[in-house]
Amino acid sequence: MIDHPKARLAILISGRGSNLQVFIDACASGELEADIALVVSNKPDAAGLQRATRAGLATGCIDHRDYATREEFDQALVDALLPLQPDLVILAGFMRILTPVFIRPFYGRLLNIHPSLLPKYPGLNTHQRALDAGDGEAGVTVHFVTLELDGGPPVIQARVSVVAGDTAESLAERVINREHIIYPIAARWHLQGRLKLKDEGAYLDGDPIPPTGIQYHENLA
């Protein structure tokens, strides 16, 4: 029997790395048959780097302030990741707008998580925007990264109800709990070869995924 090497993940962060921790735990528990090959931050003081170091992971910092253009920064990211041949690149709170220089080499194996029910509220301040609009629910979307900002095909969404007295902070707290559930699911589908990005959109098990993604429920496999 031949032992197949585990899939390799690269994870990009800018902050505390709460979603990074979810992937650390998922890899350790066997929920994901993968190893984290590298954790990279664009901020040298990102708390997530310390989290990764404590877990024994390789880390790097590529400070965007050291580069004159977004393209030069993105090329430095490519140079750091390509030699690792990652099967999947995970954006886990990576607060940079990526250019085609980075997206094209990893196209189809690049996932992001966004704290809204895309296509609603791309960009920032998503929870406050949902409250200001009087929405009855908010949520989070895992999507493929394409050349359109927060516009890649959704893979999976999780919804939470907006309740009386909610603030952006209280809503964010409930949403992030759902983030931690659905992001590893999407990654697992991809590593199993079930999730694909095609010209027409995202597909799971050969079937097109709805424009707002697969809706999370507790029995989702």
Provide the annotated active-site residues.
Answer: 114
Planar angle of CA 48, 49, 52, nearest 5 degrees: 85
Residue 116 is classified by DSSP as: S
Cα angle 141, 145, 149; round to 5: 85
CA distances from 94 to 42, 144, 187 (A): 8, 14, 17
Q: Are 202 and 153 in contact (CB under 8 A)?
A: yes
Nearest to 104 by CA among 211, 197, 204, 30: 197
End-to-end Cα distance, the chain: 27
Identify whether the C-beta of residue 125 lies closer than 8 Å to the C-beta of residue 133: no
Give dist(CA 189, CA 197) in Å, integer: 12
Nearest to 90 by CA among 174, 158, 204, 191: 191
Distance CA 10, CA 85 (A): 9
